[in-house]
């Protein structure tokens, strides 16, 4: 069967679509759209061993690093296993990851994630042994240990295996103790930098204007689409925490560019509220050619000394969706009207992707198309 989708987009008027003033404003806190430079998490990673598994650990013959780690650990504890044939299945090599929160103090606890590194079947019931957690500077900032909690499981019989979730990954709540603090003197700073999570010139200026209105002085300025610089006002000298508390509660209206995000692999389309279309006429039709082979056997007459032959018979069916009509999409329509117009054509998500790309090629789509 040969299937071909024909999509025709004719641009009738490439006028600029006006932005509708009836769009409801969505205000967000500065806390939700920007981060304070220097106040961030730090990623930690470590390598360790999980013991106490019920035969679901690494096979030591296939995971040489697990065998070496087990022997090294036992030697540190005074047990010599060099040359011995170890065949336990209750040990697994794992990678331990965690995020060190900003201003975490020595002795505080953080959560860790444990993931199998070898061919272990499950970490259920396992206990992580003491594992140092390092940062990018190769210094140890925390030490993890504890009982692993997993959400998945595996049940296996002679003819069937059932697995739910991921049994080779789990978490240890408050499983690591912070051993080293990251020094950051927030109180001595003379200026702050706010980093926008979604860089945009208009949003950066709105953040600066909101701060200046609250302070009552030109304290903040947008340096670029991603950065807003804030000088410490006189009333907040030595009290940066109070200043940040007041600033992060201010509300602004983020401004984002009109964008259509398309995931062709899954057929997902996401359109922003500011997407506009100029006047355009659209026709969508499917051309389907179905070829069916029905071979028949031709038998000769008795005693005719003929040969049995296969006679080919081909049936061809063509559907061109000739009843589909042109649909007119008016200039400056809203997102809801655009969606309703495309749905009225009776097309699926994948055909809709082709239509949007054809409208963009005609210059009638006032938005950026991003293909994932």
Confidence category of residue 211, pLDDT binned at 50, 70, 90: very high
* 44 CB-near residues (< 8 Å, 6+ apart): 97, 98, 99, 100, 133, 134, 135, 141, 142, 176
Same domain, 285 and 347: yes
Q: Alpha-carbon distance 233 to 215, whole Å? A: 8
| 325 and 237 part of one domain | no
Domain annotation covers residue 314: no
> What is the pLDDT averaged over residues 203-225?
94
Give mean pLDDT, residues 156-185: 84
- Nearest alpha-carbon partner for 176 in 44, 57, 74, 42: 44
Q: Are residues 214 and 281 in the same domain?
A: no
107 and 140 belong to one structural domain: yes
Residues 48 and 168 in one domain: yes
- The predicted pLDDT at position 113 comes to 96
User: In whole angstroms, how far apart are CA 287 and each of 143, 291, 293, 352?
Assistant: 64, 13, 20, 16
Q: How far apart are the C-alpha atoms of 222 and 343, rounded to whole Å?
A: 42
**Does a structural domain hold residue 305?**
no
List the one residue out of 371, 367, 327, 332 whose CA is nearest residue 347.
327
- Residue 130's pLDDT is 95
CA torsion sign, 229 to 231 to 237 to 243? negative
Do 52 and 164 fall into the same domain?
A: yes
Residues 104 and 134 grouped into a single domain: yes
CA distances from 293 to 46, 289, 298, 307, 308 (A): 62, 13, 16, 22, 19
Domain count of the chain? 3
Same domain as 167, residue 53: yes
Radius of gyration of the chain (CA): 33
- How high is the pLDDT of residue 290? 57
In a domain, 304, yes or no: no
Is the CB of residue 342 less than 8 Å from the CB of residue 325? no
In eight-state DSSP terms, residue 350 is H
**How far does CA 264 lie from the centroid of its chain?**
16
The CA distance from 32 to 313, in Å, is: 68
CATH number of residue 231's parent domain: 3.30.1360
Task: To the nearest 10°, report the CA torsion of 71, 76, 78, 83.
Answer: 20
Average pLDDT of 299-303?
A: 71
User: Is residue 136 domain-shared with residue 217, that is, in the same domain?
Assistant: no
The tally of CA atoms less than 13 A away on the side-chain side of residue 217 is 7
CA distance 274 to 20: 9
Torsion over CA: 67, 68, 74, 78 (sign): positive
| Chain mean pLDDT for the chain | 80
Domain coverage including residue 73: 42-178
Specify whether the CB–CB gap between 329 and 306 falls below 8 A: no
**Could you tell me how many residues make up the chain?**
372
Q: Within a domain: residue 361?
A: yes
CA-based nearest residue to 359, from 91, 94, 29, 7: 7
pLDDT at 4 over 70: no
Domain final residue pick, 252, 271, 305: 252
Residues 171 and 50 placed together within one structural domain of the fold: yes
List all residues 6 or more positions away from 129 whose beta carbon is below 8 Å from its beta carbon: 48, 49, 50, 51, 73, 145
Query: 108-112, 148-152, 343-347 — which is least confidently predicted?
Result: 343-347
pTM of the entire predicted model: 0.68
Among residues 178, 205, 229, which one ends one of the domains? 178
Q: Evaluate if residue 296 carries a pLDDT over 90.
A: no
Residue 40 has pLDDT above 70, yes or no: yes
Q: Which two tokens stand for residue 11?
A: 């641009």
């Amino acid at each position: 069967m040969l299937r071909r989708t024909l999509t025709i987009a004719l641009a009738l008027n490439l006028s600029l679509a006006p932005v509708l003033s009836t769009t409801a404003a969505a205000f967000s806190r500065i806390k939700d759209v920007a981060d304070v430079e220097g106040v961030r998490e730090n990623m930690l990673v470590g390598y360790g061993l999980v013991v106490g598994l019920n035969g679901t650990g690494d096979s030591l013959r296939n995971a040489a690093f697990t065998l070496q780690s087990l022997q090294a650990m036992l030697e540190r504890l005074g047990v010599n296993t060099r040359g011995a044939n170890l065949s336990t299945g209750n040990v697994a090599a794992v990678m331990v990851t965690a995020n060190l929160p900003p201003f975490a103090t020595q002795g505080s606890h953080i959560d860790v994630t444990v993931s199998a590194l070898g061919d272990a079947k499950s970490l259920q019931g396992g206990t992580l042994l003491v594992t140092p957690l390092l940062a990018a500077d190769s210094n140890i900032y925390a030490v993890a240990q504890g009982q692993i909690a997993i959400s998945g499981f595996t049940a296996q019989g002679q003819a069937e295996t059932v697995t739910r979730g991921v049994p080779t990954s789990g978490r240890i709540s408050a499983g690591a103790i912070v051993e080293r603090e990251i020094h950051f003197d927030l109180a001595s700073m003379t200026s702050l930098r706010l980093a926008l999570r979604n860089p945009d010139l208009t949003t950066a200026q709105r953040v600066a204007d909101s701060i200046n209105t609250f302070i009552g002085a030109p304290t903040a300025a947008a340096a670029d689409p991603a950065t807003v610089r804030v000088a410490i006002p006189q009333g907040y000298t030595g009290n940066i925490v109070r200043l940040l508390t007041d600033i992060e509660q201010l509300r602004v209206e983020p401004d984002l560019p009109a964008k259509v995000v398309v995931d062709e692999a899954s057929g997902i389309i996401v359109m922003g509220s500011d997407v506009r279309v100029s006047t355009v006429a659209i026709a969508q039709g499917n051309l389907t050619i179905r070829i069916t082979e029905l071979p028949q056997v031709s038998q000769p007459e008795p005693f005719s000394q003929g040969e049995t032959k296969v006679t080919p018979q081909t049936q061809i069916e063509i559907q061109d969706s000739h009843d589909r009509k042109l649909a007119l999409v008016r200039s400056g329509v809203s997102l809801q009207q655009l969606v309703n117009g495309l749905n009225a054509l009776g097309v699926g998500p994948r055909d809709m992707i082709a239509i949007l790309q054809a409208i963009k090629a005609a210059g009638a789509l006032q938005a950026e198309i991003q293909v994932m």
